[in-house]
Structure 1
């Protein structure tokens, strides 16, 4: 019997044994297909992902290539946070980010970004030009007024970026 078949049978046995415990079974099944579910614990990604909502994310095994606009789950230990955090990738290695132009738009590589996902209202949080180092990403929440993201961590930690190697999954949104 192959190792993967043995693992699948073991998981199916656990799912049967845990039939009254839906969350554990969902998580075990999710791991088999390379995804996992995560619950959004704050308002930081609203309106895209509301607090309390559960999202499915594709697990990455150290092979994540960052793209602007991705919503990622990452280990936030570099920020002194115990656990996983979910945010949107804004800057990728080698890019620059800055806020803001005269119309309050964030700049990526000197060009205004089109960010229809950002929570309406509130004022921009200005910050000077930041060049994203190799192997790092700049992340922000969609609800910029409440998110403690790279902009805030930039002032606290002198960098604010997240190691690409800390990304554990990429969120898969419907529609």
Structure 2
């Protein structure tokens, strides 16, 4: 079962029109005193507009995504059950765009471009289990994933064990991350790619750090 791509929920045309709105204005008057007064009035108007925008307009626009866009965030619709119970199938997640500057962190839920060697296209979602330099293995005697020989506690799993597929240890190379879905017994992730006999390079089972487009905000899951 392939993990489907995710749909970006864009801002509405109204939001885009408001985002293009500019408050800059140039006013010319004769006499230095009158010009100073005009500049003062413009500054006051801009300040009032800024306060109203932040306090009133911006919260109202949250539903159409403009506030998130300003903060470098986007909403994604997740149609697959691979991240359950953390993100249910059909749910939405807000994610912060990495803009090519992602720094791998254990436990991050990331959205990434589908690797060419995985087949398919679009954006996928998974949790970072192994960062560069980490030896990932599963499972120990209690059905847990181990990192550098130490058991990894994973309270987010839909059900134990951490994997029904035994693998590793696999050392994650620089520039890549080992990813797995929280619904381990459904997700096709680094484990299945690693064990795929047609996979010419084991490194291809891992996601390029440069292909990570966003990090999910799990506090904003809907």
Into which bin does the TM-score normalised by the smaller protein fall?
0.7 to 0.9
How far apart in 1 are the matches of 2:168 and 2:213? 29
1:104 to 143, 146, 150: 143
Unaligned runs of 5+ in 1: 1-8, 16-24
SS of corresponding position for 1:86: strand
Q: Which stretch has the larger CA shift, 30-39 or 55-64?
A: 30-39
TM-score with structure 1 length normalisation? 0.83
**Residue correspondence of structure 1 range 30-45 to structure 2 within 5 A:** 30-45=68-83
2:216 aligned with 1:171: yes
What's the CA shift for 1:30? 3.1
2:96 maps to which residue?
58
What's the CA shift for 1:103? 1.0
2:136 aligned with 1:91: no
TM-score with structure 2 length normalisation? 0.66
How far apart in 2 are the matches of 1:61 and 1:92? 19
SS of corresponding position for 1:46: coil
The structure that has the greater radius of gyration is 2
Question: Which has the larger helix fraction?
Answer: 2
What's the CA shift for 1:29? 4.9
Equivalent pair of 1:77/1:83 in contact (CA under 8 Å) = no
Q: Which stretch has the larger CA shift, 117-126 or 134-143?
A: 117-126
1:129 maps to which residue?
169
2:155 to 116, 125, 136: 116
Equivalent pair of 2:143/2:160 in contact (CA under 8 Å) = no
What's the CA shift for 1:80? 1.9
What's the CA shift for 1:27? 4.7
What's the CA shift for 1:14? 7.3
SS of corresponding position for 2:169: strand
Unaligned runs of 5+ in 2: 1-13, 21-62
